[in-house]
Structures are given as structure tokens and as C-alpha cells.
Amino acid sequence: MVYTGRISFRPYHSLVERIKSEVQAHPIYIVCLPITTKKSFFFCQYTPKALPNGKEGMDTKLVNWAARAWNKLERSENRINKSIVSLMHRLLNEIPWMETCFRSIPSQNKITRYLKDYQKPDEKTDRTSDQDRKVHPGLVTQLDISPEELEQIPLYYPSLLLSSEQITNELRSEIQKGHEYHKKYLLVNLLLLPLTIPFALIPLIPNVPGFYLAYRSYCHLTALNGVKHLRFLLDLKGGEEHHLQMIGLQDAHNLFIESTDETTRSNVLEHIKKGDLKEKLLLDESSITNICKAFGIEKFEPNLHVALYQERKRLSQEGLEPSRD
């Protein structure tokens, strides 16, 4: 059976710092946060210790280089570049936010796993070192190492707002939809990419269609790899054990209650008290910064804002949330 831990923090120290200290004690962890009572934003964070050689691969270095180039373009005062940046921002804000979640899950062949240390704490002999317990990516499936033999990857969530069963069911549903979606559009973007070659022949103007299709192809590929890895971690073949350790944080809901929006705060308190059949927002812009700080994922803050924007828009279109336009 899957172990579900529940951790309640004592009132000393700030809640943000206490949660951050807990989650960052692991080389790799996943966090699941509710945006609405039915939809959750999840993401994976990892340190160099989770990587085979303790450092990022060439693909990550290329992504970082592209990010620096994009930041330079954003700071440009050139009128054409400003128009390009504005257009790209509008396009990026309409990309389904679930893609960010899948892309945060690293490819399975990128992450080192560790065998469980079965030695008892009171044994006189030296304890097994992390190096001895390290399992290189690829060997987990190659040697058919079972989930019971490996240290689980912790998945943290606010236990008064979500349940491990709800998270598992939602992830399994999104995995199925995500696999079909990203596989389809990876192929579409790759087929369209050669059609942008003529734009590259125009001097002084960047081949924006080509760059965009290349970028979107890469995004779909990384999302697809994340889908496959998450499917493996959940062991969707039907096994009783999987690779994730669900850990509920009993005080984490307070990060949501701190919202300055009265309606959102009321939704959170009502959801804690009796649950909801009707879908409602549990997140507001005012609480996102502290939530991201608490879980050590400040870099995901813009993505969480986009997810909230899209979910609020969806609920508004469905008549479940008043429009803010």
C-alpha cells in the first residue's frame, strides 16, 4: 500500500520557512497545489544531487542560453522586437498551463534514484553511503528494480485542501490526456517547421515563425517525457506500490487563507469545513508569492499566475466565477 504521511508544523518560526526547510531536505520532490476545488497545479523541483553527474546536461544548458537570449530580446528598445515580444507573450499566455506541470517533471533517464537503506540506526557498522545506494538512470527499468526497493520521491500537498486519492486520480487522468495531446502537436510542429525556411532568407528580420515552432516542438517533447516519467512513477500498470510518497502538510492551507481576496478566502474555509460539489477558486494572486517561496519554486511563480488566469477565465465562461474583464 502507499504510505501517506501527514506533517503538522508547530507555530514557532514562519510557516513559509518551515515548509521550505521540510521540502528542500530532499534532492527531488513534487508539490501539488489546488487552483480550484477540482484542478491542481503540480511541479517537480530537484537539486544537482538528483542528477547522475551532479550537474545539468547539455539540453538544459541550451535552454538556459535560449532563456538569456529571450531576456535580451525582452529588454530591447527596437520597435520590431517589442512587437515580437508582445505577440509572443500573448501566445505563451494561451498555452494550456498543464504543459508547464509536465515539463517540470524531468525525463526518467535524467534522474538518479537511491536504494533504500535497510540498516538499522543502532547497528555498529558504518551505514551505507549515498554513493553505494545510487542507481544510475536507466538501470531501474533495465534491472526491473521494484518500487519497494527504492527511496520514494516525496509529493507534498496541503492535506486539508487535497487528498492523496484525489491527487492520484487527477494525475492519472491528466497523464492520459497529456500523452495524446503532446504526441499529436509535437508531430504537427515538426511537420510545419520546414515551411518557415523562407522566412530565414529575409535579412534583418528574425525568423519568428521558425523560432516559435522549434520552441513549441521542444516544449511538447519535454512535456511528453514528463508524462512518461510521471506514468512510471505512478506505476499505471496496476501495481499496488508506486514511486511517490504522498506527504500531507496539515498547516499548508494557511498559505491559501492568507489571500487578500475575501471570496477566495471564503472558498478555502468553506472547502476545509465541508468540501465542495461546485467548482470554486482556492487560489488568488495575492497568495502566490508566499506559496512559491514556501515550496522553494520561485521560478514557477509566473507559470502559476498563468494557470490561475486560465482557470479563472474557464470558470467565468462556465458561469462559475464572475468575470474580471
Task: Please state the rounded mean pLDDT for residues 158-167.
Answer: 95
pLDDT band (50, 70, 90) for residue 323: low
d(CA 243, CA 249): 19
What is the model's pLDDT at position 129?
A: 63
The reply to whether 80 falls in a domain is yes
Counting runs of H as helices and runs of E as strands, what totals does the chain give? 13, 7
- Point out which residues pair with 113 in neighbouring strands: 135
Task: Please state the rounded mean pLDDT for residues 292-310.
Answer: 93
d(CA 103, CA 112): 18
d(CA 256, CA 236): 31
Residue 162 has pLDDT above 90, yes or no: yes
Residue type, 288: I
Task: Please state the rounded mean pLDDT for residues 98-115.
Answer: 92
d(CA 211, CA 208): 5
pLDDT, averaged across the chain: 84
- Point out which residues pair with 246 in neighbouring strands: 4, 155
Question: Residue 37's domain spans which residues?
Answer: 4-317
Residue 139 has pLDDT above 70, yes or no: yes
All 3 cell numbers of residue 297?
519554486
What is the model's pLDDT at position 69?
A: 74
Cβ(176)–Cβ(151) below 8 Å: no
What is the model's pLDDT at position 192?
A: 94
The reply to whether 324 falls in a domain is no
What is the model's pLDDT at position 40?
A: 97
What is the model's pLDDT at position 248?
A: 96
Cβ(223)–Cβ(101) below 8 Å: no
pLDDT band (50, 70, 90) for residue 228: very high
Q: Give the tens place of pLDDT for each residue, 93-102.
A: 889 999 999 9
Residue 9 has pLDDT above 80, yes or no: no
How many domains does the structure of the chain reveal?
1
Residue 166 has pLDDT above 60, yes or no: yes
d(CA 314, CA 306): 12
More confident: 10 or 316: 316
Residue type, 118: Y
Cβ(7)–Cβ(157) below 8 Å: no
Name the DSSP letter for residue 252.
Answer: T
The reply to whether 325 falls in a domain is no
Q: Give the tens place of pLDDT for each residue, 241-276.
A: 689 999 999 999 999 998 899 999 999 999 998 876
Angle at 161 between CA 160 and CA 166, to 5 degrees: 110
